[in-house]
Amino acid sequence: MAHYHLQSFFRVPVGADFVKFTIKTTAPEKLETGLLALCVFTDGVFPLPYNAIDKASQGRLSALVSAGELNKKAGACLLLHGLAGVAAERILLVSLGEFASFGDKAWRDALASVGKALADTLAEDAAIALEEIALPPERDFVWALRHASRIIADHAYRFDAPRAKQDSAKRGARKIAFLLASEPDPAQKEALLHGKAIAEGMALAKDLANLGANVCTPTMLAETALDLGKQFGFDVDVLERADMEKLGMGALLAVARGAAQPPKFIVMHYRGGKKGDKARKNGKTPAHPIVLVGKGVTFDSGGISLKPGAEMDEMKYDMCGAASVIGAVKAIALMDLPLDVIVLVPATENMPGGGASRPGDVVRSMSGQTIEILNTDAEGRLILCDALSYAERFTPDCVIDIATLTGACVVALGRIPSGLLSTDDALAEELTQCGLNSGDRVWRLPLWDDYQELLKSNFADMANIGGRFGGAITGAAFLSRFAKAYKWAHLDIAGTAWLSGDAKGATGRPLPLLGEFLIARAKQREH
């Protein structure tokens, strides 16, 4: 079998690695740059950078805003060329909406519009003026720089699809400055680096997910993990089918039986905690790491319970959980966070081959619990349950699994938040708050014991589905049976991991949420 390496298969000419960020304190009207983005309220409240440019241009900006040239909706833009009295070649006016209703969403919408404009501009360099009055209530420049750099770099991402004729057009600002009124402090400089690191992790996650399943196989996921380990100096173990058989991972192997591609179980050991730890000196992961588990079904046909043909191509995205945790490791390493993190990726295809599992089969999981497979398309929980059992050996501080688990979650919540289910209230609240801070929001669904009754089986300890209703909840209820030894949370990203239609492509979620969570945990460790 041919082994494809991510970077040799396609180029990434514009992405998080390509954009360079700096911080400048030059007067807005004197800043020489290809494009200067100015945020403005549309109800008469004007930030200082806007006022400086307006004064230098003899009131040109205020005249345009007063005339209604700038749409009042947050994120609306107006591009001006060659504004008299101003050193910048272009001025991009960006609406923040009305000051009275200004908040996180309006700010993110405005920055997203800036990101789109910078990704499409002919200017090679650009600047974004940030001013305290134009920050959402109770937000500071540390928060703003981390999220602005992540949003801008993420919008610069472009998947360079393998085509016979490549697009040679060079668009997009390569050097981007954030314009502040005073010199940044160390925390603000760090925030800028953190935002870019999260965007780079998102870019890797999107690269992996957007590749066809003929290229992004379980083997390629393993190769990518090994390459990251070599690049950043952490250990990676790749368990083969025989290793999984020895461990008794009967649930994972039941999914892999119908596929020609060999399954892989990937273990990434990031050791960034206290350097004097004895376990670390011996090359082992210290006790109580954070464990991230990502569902890695590189293509999900549904198996014998075959999916409908329409939009089945999007089932290459059934490994977005795996892509997100692999991207998270890259982000953690780039940020050099003082954390111990284990990443587990059970990776396989789910195919309807001659050896595939059938509805009615009973398999034994690594935990010893038996499972009656009533629907082979409920495969994600089968590979995750063995990974959750494997996580016990690390005596984790907490375990978070990320999976495109159920269409039921999309029906329940739409494509705005990811679903959150947890057996630990404190961990659930922590993730919820990190979602609000990052804009990568989650919504908690109940996980009451009543739902366990729906998983009853006459022929095994449990069934792998719980009937027609509450599918996102019964999927998590199933997983909870394998996560009793530690604090655990489950993120169902089936509605948020990718977009369909003309904008089809991976989103990189929930990496912003994970990045926020890991940064907050690192700061807790420091104190």
DSSP label of 183: P
Helix (H, G, I), strand (E, B), or coil: what is residue 165? coil
Structure tokens at 80: 């001006």
Helix (H, G, I), strand (E, B), or coil: what is residue 101? helix
Phi then psi for residue 2, to 5 deg, are -70, 140
In 3D, which of 244, 410, 216, 177 has the Cα closest to residue 319? 216
Q: Which residues contact 211 (CB under 8 A, 6 or more apart)?
A: 6, 9, 220, 316
CA dihedral 146, 151, 156, 160 (to 10 degrees): 110
E-assigned strand segments in 414-474: 418-422, 442-444, 462-463
- Residue 371 in contact with residue 462, Cβ under 8 Å? yes
DSSP label of 510: T
- Residue 223 in contact with residue 230, Cβ under 8 Å? no
State the catalytic residue, choosing from 90, 158, 381, 521.
Answer: 381
Give me the residue label for tokens 């400055």.
Answer: 177
Helices (H) and strands (E) in the chain, counts: 16, 20
Is 381 known to be catalytic?
yes
The sign one gets for the Cα dihedral 104, 107, 113, 118 is: negative
In 3D, which of 339, 181, 357 has the Cα closest to residue 275? 339
Is 307 known to be catalytic?
yes
Q: d(Cα 507, Cα 509) in Å, to the nearest integer?
A: 5
Q: Which residues contact 341 (CB under 8 A, 6 or more apart)?
A: 270, 272, 289, 290, 291, 292, 328, 329, 332, 518
Q: What distances in angstroms separate CA 295 from CA 252, 320, 323, 387, 518, one per listed residue?
A: 11, 7, 9, 9, 19
Helix (H, G, I), strand (E, B), or coil: what is residue 275? coil
Structure tokens at 99: 């000051």
Helix (H, G, I), strand (E, B), or coil: what is residue 341? strand
State the catalytic residue, choosing from 189, 307, 364, 444.
Answer: 307
Q: What distances in angstroms separate CA 58 from CA 24, 55, 62, 81, 178, one per listed residue?
A: 24, 5, 9, 15, 25
Q: What amino acid positions are annotated as catalytic residues?
A: 307, 381
